[in-house]
Amino acid sequence: MEAVAAVGEAFFSEMFEALLTKFNASDLINFAQQKKIYAELKKWKNILQNINAVVADAEEKQVMDRSAKIWLKELQDLAYQVKDILEEFDYEALRRKSTVKHSKVKMHCLRGLKWSGMFNVKMVSKIKGITTRLQQIASEKNSLRLGDNVGGKAHKARDHQRLPTTSVVSEIKVFGRGNEKEAILKSLLVEKTSEDDIHVPVISITGIAGIGKTTLAQLVYNDGKVKEFFDLRAWIHVSEDFGVTEITKAILQAVNPSISCTTDLNLFQLKLKEELSGKKLLLVLDDVRLQNYNQWSLLICPFEVGNSGCKIIVTTQDQNISQITGPLVHDTPLKELADDDCLSILACHALKSKNFKRHPLLKEIGQEIVKKCKGLPSAVKELASLLGAKQVYKEWEAVSRSKIWDLLEEKGGTVAALRWSYHHLSSHLKPCFAYCSLIPKGYEFNSDELVLLWIAEDFVQPKGHKQPEDLGHEYFSDLLSRSFFQKSNNNNSLFVMHDLIIDLAQSVAGDSCFNMEHELHIDEMARHVSFIPHRYDVSQRFEIFNERKHIRSFIALPTPCQRGGYCYLSSKVLYKLLPKLKCLRVLSLSGYFIGELSSSIGDLKLLRCLNLSRTAIRLLPRSVGNLHHLQMLILNQCKELTALPVEICGLSKLHHLDIRDTPKLQELPSGLGNLTSLRVLPKFIIGKAGGLALRELKDLSLQ
């Protein structure tokens, strides 16, 4: 049930914000001038604004209230339909503009305008039906007793249940991290070498929740050489609401417990400065989430004046902590713990032994269990607590075959820590992260490609003069800095997600996102689907999509070993199934042996991203020019591509045309200069007379 609560938080708030913004679009207002339709759209906006005020409360109540859960599911489904209709109107406005702009015959132009009027009439009954459903959902919120602006209370309550850490550690139960500890000690146990250096030395320990940051800090804090080197030591667990005054007070009481209580920060800092004069202090700030440089500067002020012996160890999930603290003396990004060390932890906590000598039959299955934890020691400990009273092979085998996320959710610790990290993301990052549940476990991905998917799904909202790609990369960097993504060990230009982070993403995405490698059944509420291509993909694999026509993302994710050759897709999927998915925003067929597309591709009028990279496509159908919402056309490594249809020059929203590594493409169509939104064009080809002329690019703002 907890997972469902997060679904609302991941998608609803951003979806409603995007929806309400669409109602203010001038093109939509101008196009829907027919009084009857515009009046209905105004009703929608008013109803949605009223519903939006209570969504946060519904998200919290659905954890315990099944009626609230059903209400939110119906609301989510209806919100998608509202967005589809608004974008259909937007499409017609774009189509009409394109028709007027490019029509050479006046009568042709008039026919286009007349058809648009017929479109409005055709949509009236559908619009009224949605109005009725919206009114019904709005009335149901009263019976659920939903309140305004109360969201977040339950989250805060959960946050306060997080146990504080202490400096005490049972070293006999700690395995691994010896190299990391020695590297920190090497940086820590040195005297200050220059009086000109006024910077307080900071050492960071970073990594995802449960990786062992606190344990490593405890090992360093309790090391004998550290105790000898420093006159004073202080361990402070920093919660999110822990302000400068509270932290300073805690430090002061740690170095001198006899200090009398006060609430005056000035007195705290004066007394702390006095206590530290001429002394060397080791300060550990555990689980830091400071986002404000001024707060940090104020906190460390007593350590900078008249004291050269203070050093600080910070544990945090934020890999960009140096942007707050200043340059780091030493940075320790923790990797997954080795399987052998994890096996020792399992034996220690499950069998109360350092090894499996007394239980040799359990060792092999124990190795399988720790592999599922992917080097996360906290996860190993929690599974060990499940196995502690079970020393029978069959019971251990049952654990090894279970989903680790389900097992850990029962215990609460690691899962709670991961959820806590998610809940404290900014609202605009939550749908982006939830969408990452489409990424298979162990899959290496490109950040640029992921950002384009976020943009196509409307998760990246315009902000000032920033381009969507730039803003999307800021989102990615933010999630990377919080350890939701990691650099691949195999390729420094690619990224991966820890298995438990993917489990978290699947948990918060709920029924909305499905990866066909993880789940066999695709829920009727699913909107986004991904899959790894098979060598030969027959139509039966995708039959379920005949009943899932509201899918918005259909994404093939070829693996590195598949990128050297083609996979093969049934023509039934290309010519019969895909044209039925009228709600598609993202269509990726990367890596398939596809020589041509059906002209019916032009009927997918809500499509924003078409990825045909690494396919055998030779020519695109002229109907691609009907995709007026298309923002990204990805054709890189299409070795057989020979030409682009001139019709793409009418796609006013196209901003990303990737034609890298297309050796047979000899020219670009004349009129490409009309694409004023175009930002990415890796190469341009000056072809024969009638093709693209260099002067056409002068008005484009290419990156």
Q: Is the pLDDT of residue 160 over 90?
A: no
177-333 matches 339-412 in fold:
no
pLDDT tier at 683 (50, 70, 90 boundaries)? confident
Count CA within 13 A, CB hemisphere, residue 331: 14
Q: Is the pLDDT of residue 114 over 60?
A: no
Higher-confidence residue of 41 and 376: namely: 376
Fold type of domain 339-412: Helicase, Ruva Protein; domain 3 (1.10.8)
Q: Is the pLDDT of residue 290 over 80?
A: no
Give the pLDDT score at 63: 66
Nearest of 639, 631, 579 to residue 613 by alpha carbon: 639
What is the signed CA dihedral for 239, 244, 250, 256, rounded to 10 degrees?
Answer: 160
Strand 311-316 relative to strand 202-206: parallel, antiparallel, unpaired?
A: parallel
Q: Is the pLDDT of residue 278 over 80?
A: yes
Give the pLDDT score at 667: 84
CA distance 159 to 276: 33
For the record, the structure tokens of 142 come out as 């009263």
- pLDDT, tens digit (0-9, with 9 covering 90-100), for 251-264: 998 888 887 767 78
Give the pLDDT score at 693: 66
Task: Report residue 199 CA to chain centroid gap.
Answer: 35
Count CA within 13 A, CB hemisphere, residue 41: 26
Give the pLDDT score at 242: 61
Q: Is the pLDDT of residue 322 over 80?
A: yes
Give the pLDDT score at 603: 94
CB of 410 within 8 A of CB of 402?
A: no
pLDDT tier at 295 (50, 70, 90 boundaries)? confident
CA distance 91 to 68: 34
For the ranges 13-27, 69-83, 618-632, the lowest mean pLDDT is seen at 13-27
Q: Is the pLDDT of residue 94 over 70?
A: yes
Q: Is the pLDDT of residue 595 over 60?
A: yes
Count of C-beta atoms within a 10 Å radius of residue 121:
11
Mean pLDDT of 594-603: 94
Coil, helix or strand at residue 357: coil
For the record, the structure tokens of 220 come out as 């360093």
Homologous superfamily of domain range 177-333? P-loop containing nucleotide triphosphate hydrolases (3.40.50.300)
Give the pLDDT score at 119: 56
DSSP lists the bridge partners of residue 611 as 588, 634
Give the pLDDT score at 156: 43
Q: Is the pLDDT of residue 73 over 70?
A: yes
Coil, helix or strand at residue 282: strand
Give the pLDDT score at 365: 92
Give the pLDDT score at 451: 97
Domain 425-510 in CATH 1.10.10.10? The answer is yes
Mean pLDDT of 228-234: 94
pLDDT tier at 401 (50, 70, 90 boundaries)? confident
Higher-confidence residue of 685 and 175: namely: 175
Mean pLDDT of 561-565: 72
Domain extents in the chain: 2-157, 177-333, 339-412, 425-510
For the ranges 171-175, 507-511, 678-682, the lowest mean pLDDT is seen at 507-511
Q: Is the pLDDT of residue 112 over 70?
A: no
Higher-confidence residue of 345 and 53: namely: 345
In the chain, the amino acid numbered 345 is I
Count of C-beta atoms within a 10 Å radius of residue 360:
9
pLDDT tier at 195 (50, 70, 90 boundaries)? low
Average pLDDT, rounded, for the chain: 84
Mean pLDDT of 49-67: 77
CA distance 181 to 217: 8
What distances in angstroms separate CA 48 from CA 76, 148, 646, one per listed residue?
A: 12, 13, 41
Nearest of 625, 622, 597 to residue 611 by alpha carbon: 597
What is the signed CA dihedral for 344, 349, 354, 359, rounded to 10 degrees?
Answer: -90
Give the pLDDT score at 117: 53
Give the pLDDT score at 39: 77
The tokens 């999110």 sit on which residue? 240
Could you give the maximum distance between any two Cα atoms of the chain, in Å?
Answer: 92
The share of the chain scoring above pLDDT 90, in percent, equals: 42
CA distance 255 to 38: 68
Mean pLDDT of 306-316: 83
Q: Is the backbone of residue 528 left (phi > 0), alpha (psi -120 to 50) or beta? A: beta
Mean pLDDT of 223-241: 90
